[in-house]
Structure 1
Amino acid sequence: MSQTLQAIYAAKRKARRFAVQGVYEWQMSHNPVHEIEARTRAENAMHKVDLNYYHELLTQIVAEHETLDELLIPVLDREIDALDGVELATLRLGAYELRHHAEIPYRVVLDEAIELAKHFGGADSHKYINGVLDRLAHVLREAEKQQG
């Protein structure tokens, strides 16, 4: 993989990391998204972050959270209100990418969400995230899953 491609992937990974933190903050505080984004940009070195992708993830996940939750509820084994805040933010991000970014292979979406859960979540939350998003991928990316 070229260094340019690696830099692009790394910038998207960083965008996801900041986005999941922002979604988590919004879930806990309901602060306006533009304030969360402005503070995050002011307080962090974001020169290696895909800022457009970060903005899209943060604003659209919050804007579509009810629709994303409707996608998640059938593949959860518990009530959505019983989820840990980090798990919910990570699942919403994964659901958003599965739904809106078909150019990102579903395995990449799952891997990125698992890494976020390992970094921010509880001890075994990554296993739960993997299972839920894998079931959701069967619904949203059925043809892709059948191919490989």
Structure 2
Amino acid sequence: MTTKNARRRSRELATQGVYQWLLSGASESKIDAAMREQPGFNKADCNHFSSLLYGVIQKAKTLTKALIPFLDRPFYQLSPVEQAVLLIAVYEFQNHIDIPYRVVINEAVELTKTFGGSDGYKYINGVLDKLVVTIRFNEVKNRI
């Protein structure tokens, strides 16, 4: 399996884990153990999965604050899937600068299409398009 597919699988599992955390408040280690039991975990990029799951949970308040100016409603009113996807994307923008911002946005859109409501991906795309300029200004500027 290619790195891209392994990373996609790690994002899918991290999204499910963050979703579970948002709904249950379970500990990172408990969620981590549950996700590692999921079919296909062995095909994921384990390091990327761990970085996303633990990083998002540990920095959730800071990540949420970064999102608030770009939302049209309070964060808690978003669906848990949208919350999880946005938190993961912001975390990747801030902590995985080796991943191009367009890849992060595309992956977030794909995750929302997979796990979210029918048009949620459009909202996610719009929020992240505006947000990325504040985090990766030089990368965005160089692409224009």
Structure 1-normalised TM-score?
A: 0.94
* Aligned-residue CA RMSD (Å): 1.0
CA distance in 2, matches of 1:49, 1:81: 29
1:29 paired residue number = 24
Query: Is 1:95 aligned to residue 90 of structure 2?
Result: yes
Deviation at 1:91, TM superposition (A): 0.3
Q: 1:107 aligns with which of 71, 84, 102?
A: 102
Aligned residues: 143
Letter in 2 for 1:44: P
Deviation at 1:48, TM superposition (A): 1.1
2:4 paired residue number = 9
Partner of 1:47, secondary structure, is: helix
2:139 paired residue number = 144
2:53 paired residue number = 58
Query: Is 1:123 aligned to residue 118 of structure 2?
Result: yes
Letter in 1 for 2:95: H
Q: 1:48 aligns with which of 37, 43, 46?
A: 43
Q: Which moved more, 1:42-51 or 1:62-71?
A: 42-51
Deviation at 1:37, TM superposition (A): 1.0
Letter in 2 for 1:120: F
Alignment of 1:75-86 (within 5 A): 75-86=70-81
Letter in 2 for 1:92: L
CA distance in 2, matches of 1:43, 1:99: 27
What is the aligned-residue identity percentage?
42
Which blocks of at least 5 consecutive residues in structure 2 are unaligned?
none
Structure 2-normalised TM-score?
A: 0.96
* Runs ≥4 residues deviating over 6 A: none
